[in-house]
């Protein structure tokens, strides 16, 4: 498992994928925070806060994370190298988790440079340091968990096909539904009695809760459970494919 994990992580940076993902993530957020005019520009709205970062980042990750995970399984299938993985002393679960954890490591590496944004905002206020540290820490934790779910959804989508483009589109669609879809479904006619329950199934409700600095065990359980479900679903796809070949 750890050999696959190391291989995937080294592959990110030997092919420039990791550098591109981290750079794009930081540049897009920096443009909205400091360059593009409008309500999200920190210098224009006169309020030193990181709300722009935590609003824009889920949408940026919505495309960047699937772009990373789309090749994880699909490319192995297309090239036939998935059979080499099966020949090693690793289970389908270990293959899935190695690739998933590699994606999560890349997410962490993309988030770490965001400390520059925090330091900038920290010193930019009328009173330096007048920043909700608890809420900011919670928002970073929530953003990490959100991206971790995106990664698990992307791995699952990649396991369904040997076409990277299809895997990318499927992953973006799944992530969009998980992030914003349930909020929209809750407002459909006839669902008023269960709207709160439907909203609670989506990522956004739990992300907003954690972003307020409220570290509720229910939110942590939600993030972990959803990631586990997607990873287990991806494992079952690999197992079923292997079973079909035997028969």
**Residue ranges per domain, the chain?**
2-246
The burial class, CB within 10 Å (0-12 / 13-18 / 19+), for 206 is buried
Please say if the pLDDT value at position 161 is more than 80.
yes
pLDDT score for 246? 59
Cα–Cα distance between 73 and 181 in angstroms, integer? Answer: 26
* Greatest mean pLDDT range, 33-42, 153-162, 196-205: 153-162
Which range among 41-55, 172-186, 221-235 shows the weakest confidence by mean pLDDT?
A: 41-55
Q: Tell me the pLDDT of the chain averaged across its residues.
A: 88
Q: Which is more confident, 123 or 73?
A: 73
Task: For residue range 164-199, list pLDDT tens digits in order.
Answer: 999 999 999 999 999 998 888 777 776 667 778 888
Q: How many CB atoms lie within 10 A of CB 187?
A: 11
Residue 25 has pLDDT above 80, yes or no: yes
Per-residue model confidence as pLDDT tens digits over 49-104? 788 899 999 999 999 999 999 999 999 888 888 888 877 888 889 999 999 999 99
SS3 content of the chain, % helix, strand, coil (to 5): 80, 0, 20
3-class secondary structure, 188? coil
* Cα separation, 73 vs 158, whole angstroms: 5
Tokens of 113: 């440079």
165 CB burial (10 A radius; 0-12, 13-18, 19+): exposed
> pTM (2 decimals)?
0.91
Q: Rounded to the nearest 5°, which phi and psi values hold at 213?
A: 90, 5
Q: Which residues contact 188 (CB under 8 A, 6 or more apart)?
A: none
Instruction: Count the helices and strands in the chain (H runs, E runs).
Output: 14, 0
């Amino acid at each position: 498992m750890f050999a696959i994990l190391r291989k995937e992580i080294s592959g990110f940076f030997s092919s420039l994928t990791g550098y591109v993902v981290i750079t794009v993530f930081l540049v897009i957020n920096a443009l909205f925070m400091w360059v593009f005019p409008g309500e999200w520009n920190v210098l224009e709205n006169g309020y030193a806060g990181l709300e722009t970062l935590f609003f824009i980042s889920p949408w940026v990750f919505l495309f960047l994370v699937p772009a990373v995970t789309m090749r994880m399984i699909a490319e192995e299938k297309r090239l036939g190298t998935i059979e080499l993985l099966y020949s090693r002393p690793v289970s389908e679960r270990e293959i899935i988790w190695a690739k998933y954890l590699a994606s999560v490591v890349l997410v962490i590496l993309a988030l770490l440079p965001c400390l520059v944004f925090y330091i900038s905002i920290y010193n930019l206020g009328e009173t330096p340091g007048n920043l909700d540290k608890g809420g900011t820490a919670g928002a970073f934790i929530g953003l990490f968990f959100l991206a971790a779910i995106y990664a698990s959804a992307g791995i699952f989508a990649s396991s369904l096909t040997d076409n990277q483009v299809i895997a990318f589109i499927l992953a973006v669609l799944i992530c969009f539904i998980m992030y914003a879809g349930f909020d929209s479904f809750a407002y459909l006619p006839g669902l008023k009695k269960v709207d709160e329950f439907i909203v609670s199934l989506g990522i956004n409700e739990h992300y907003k809760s954690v972003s307020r600095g409220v570290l509720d065990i229910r939110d942590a359980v939600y993030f972990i459970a959803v990631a586990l479900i997607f990873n287990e679903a991806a494992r079952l796809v690999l197992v079923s494919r292997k079973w079909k070949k035997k028969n």
